[in-house]
């Protein structure tokens, strides 16, 4: 690939927190021009100071976006958006259902203004049909309703969420995928379309193992910690190492045989208690004990190296301070160090959508609230200084 694939595409990004902004981030990293539009207060995630916990994700997700601030509650603000919509290819938003419709900036309003527009929404439950279409949702509540929490946790403990906000990001990349698909369709038929992504829809397929096990066994299974949901595969767990934990999985017979060699216990390969996956499942406690005897004598790095050398699927449980220094991701260019000042730097993630022989645009800290309002309104709408001054005085823009 010789040029950024989305060069020439212009996006108006009403994204908030993770879902919408991640979509805008992916668009921007693929070469689109992304204008982030916020209220005069700034979006939910915009940090008040460098020490806020939201400083990192906000700056990473909104790097390379031009930031404008417009008050939609003001009729002139609404008109500015309507005028901008004529000039862009994509509008994306993940407000609560019905929010933009209140300002006459819903899908049908904007497609009337620009029939070639891609209008893309991300919501908890999809915005177009069904009894929950107007309901609010966030990552944690979608982890609940999707069924994910019910199968996550210790065997005798309560249902548990994972701290990875995975449904937000999963929905964000589906939103990106829908937009790019709609751009391709527009090339063919010349018309825009409405993309409608539901976090609940996106989460459902990730439960495939649990659902398949339920259909197979015919009853609800207890939570299984880090083991296979139906305890049907072993080794498959998180095992104690000298300096933390490692995860190991043997999904095929060959993996188990190589695992025996890696542990320097080749005699186990012939042991009838472990020679087939269903026998190992029956003796799961003993298998886990054998593996733990081995892993607990070594450091994570050593286990990782030996396992991969033998062709066993394994990885260390990395802590957050370790993962942001991950040598592989840094080397691969998936992380980029950004200096904040002499003492501090951040590991910014780049787009996971990578092409051979093409570097994504370099990342930079996010722009301040309204930093690009004047430049964007001048360029897109041909507004002049006096217009901008008036709008600012009237509290329409920042």
Residues 118-147 contacting a second copy, CB under 8 A? 125-126, 128-138, 140-147
Residue 74 designated active-site = no
Sign of torsion, CA 116 117 122 125?
negative
CA neighbours closer than 13 Å in the CB half-sphere of residue 20: 32
> Binding a second copy by CB under 8 A: which of 68, 85, 197, 366?
197
> Binding a second copy by CB under 8 A: which of 46, 174, 257, 338?
174
Q: Which is nearer to a second copy, 2 or 264 (CB)?
A: 2
Choices 224-232, 283-291, 367-375, 381-389 (CB under 8 A): range interacting with a second copy = 224-232
Cis amide bond preceding 235, omega within 30? yes
Length of the chain: 398
164 binds a second copy (CB under 8 A): yes
- The DSSP bridge partners found for residue 338 are 346
What residues contact residue 31 under an 8 Å CB cut-off, 6+ apart?
Answer: 3, 4, 5, 6, 7, 9, 361
Per the listing, tokens 């892993």 go with: 295
Binders of a second copy in range 241-270 (CB under 8 A): 245-249, 251-252
Question: Catalytic one among 74, 174, 228, 328?
Answer: 228
Number of residues that bind a second copy (CB under 8 A): 156
What residues contact residue 176 under an 8 Å CB cut-off, 6+ apart?
Answer: 22, 23, 26, 27
Q: Which is nearer to a second copy, 301 or 364 (CB)?
A: 301
- What binding mask, one character per residue, do residues 86-125 give for a second copy by CB under 8 A, x or -? ---------------------x-----------------x
Q: How far is the CB of 175 from a second copy (least distance, A)?
A: 9
What residues contact residue 208 under an 8 Å CB cut-off, 6+ apart?
Answer: none
Binders of a second copy in range 274-333 (CB under 8 A): 308, 311-324, 326-329, 331-333
Q: Which is nearer to a second copy, 75 or 323 (CB)?
A: 323
Q: Cβ distance 237 to 224 under 8 Å? A: no
Q: Which is nearer to a second copy, 121 or 373 (CB)?
A: 121
The per-residue DSSP string of 135-158 comes to ----HHHHHHHTSTGGG-S-TTS-
Q: Cβ distance 56 to 366 under 8 Å? A: no
- What binding mask, one character per residue, do residues 327-366 give for a second copy by CB under 8 A, x or -? xxx-xxxxx----------xx-xx-xxxxxxx--------
Catalytic positions, written as ranges: 228
């Amino acid at each position: 690939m010789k040029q950024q694939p989305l060069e020439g595409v212009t996006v108006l990004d009403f994204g908030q927190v993770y879902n919408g902004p991640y979509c805008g981030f992916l668009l921007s990293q693929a070469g689109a021009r992304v204008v982030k539009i916020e209220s005069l207060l700034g979006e939910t995630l915009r940090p008040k100071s460098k020490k806020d916990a939201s400083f990192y994700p906000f700056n990473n997700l909104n790097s390379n976006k031009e930031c404008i601030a417009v008050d939609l509650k003001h009729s002139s603000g609404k008109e500015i958006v309507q005028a901008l919509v004529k000039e862009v290819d994509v509008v994306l938003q993940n407000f609560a259902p019905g929010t933009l419709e209140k300002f006459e900036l819903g899908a049908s309003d904007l497609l009337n203004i620009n029939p070639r527009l891609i209008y893309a929404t991300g919501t908890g439950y999809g915005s177009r049909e069904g009894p929950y279409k107007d309901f609010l949702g966030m990552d944690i509540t979608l982890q609940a309703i999707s069924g994910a929490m019910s199968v996550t946790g210790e065997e005798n403990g309560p249902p548990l969420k994972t701290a990875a906000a995975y449904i937000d990001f999963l929905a964000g990349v589906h939103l990106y995928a829908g937009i790019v698909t709609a751009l391709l369709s527009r090339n063919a038929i010349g018309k825009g379309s409405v993309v409608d992504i539901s976090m609940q829809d996106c989460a459902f397929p990730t439960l495939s193992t649990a659902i398949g096990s339920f259909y197979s066994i015919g009853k609800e299974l207890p939570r299984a910690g880090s083991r296979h949901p139906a305890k049907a595969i072993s080794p498959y767990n998180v095992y104690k190492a000298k300096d933390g934990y490692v995860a190991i999985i043997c999904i095929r017979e060959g993996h188990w045989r190589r695992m025996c060699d890696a542990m320097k216990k080749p005699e186990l390969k012939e042991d009838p208690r472990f020679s087939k996956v269903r026998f190992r499942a029956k003796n799961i406690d003993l298998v886990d004990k054998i593996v733990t005897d081995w892993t607990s004598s070594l450091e994570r790095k050593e286990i990782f190296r030996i396992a991969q050398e033998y062709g066993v699927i394994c990885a260390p449980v990395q802590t957050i301070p370790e993962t942001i220094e991950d040598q592989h991701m840094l080397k691969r260019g998936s992380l980029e160090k950004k200096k904040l000042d002499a003492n501090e730097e951040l590991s910014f993630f780049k787009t996971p959508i990578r092409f051979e022989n093409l570097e994504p645009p370099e990342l930079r800290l996010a722009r301040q609230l309204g930093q690009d309002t004047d430049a964007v309104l001048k360029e897109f709408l041909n507004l002049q200084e006096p217009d901008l001054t008036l709008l600012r005085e009237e509290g329409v823009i920042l």
